[in-house]
Amino acid sequence: MENLNMSELKAVASRCSQYSPMGGNQFTSSAGQNEESCSKCEHYENSKCTLDLIDQIKSNMQ
């Protein structure tokens, strides 16, 4: 699978129903860094989605 850049990872995560931020505690920072991204998702390992949803979501985006 091709590597995705940060904006693609954000676009995918914002459309993903399985997005699950790592760490568990979703505290909102005052800096407003609350963006969704696959890189923050617990299903994202070794630059890919362990649920194999990235390709599906990407193809739905086109």
- Enumerate binding residues for ligand SF4 (CB under 6 A): 12-13, 16, 18-19, 38, 41, 43-44, 49, 51, 53-54, 57
User: Which of residues 29 and 60 has its CB atom nearest to ligand SF4 in the complex?
Assistant: 60
Answer for the pair 37, 13: CB distance below 8 angstroms, yes or no. yes
We find the least distance from the C-beta atom of residue 2 to ligand SF4, in angstroms, to be: 14
In the beta sheet, which residues pair with residue 48? 45
**Helices 54-61 & 6-15 angle (0-180, nearest 10):** 90
Tell me the one-letter amino acid at 14: S
We find the least distance from the C-beta atom of residue 17 to ligand SF4, in angstroms, to be: 8
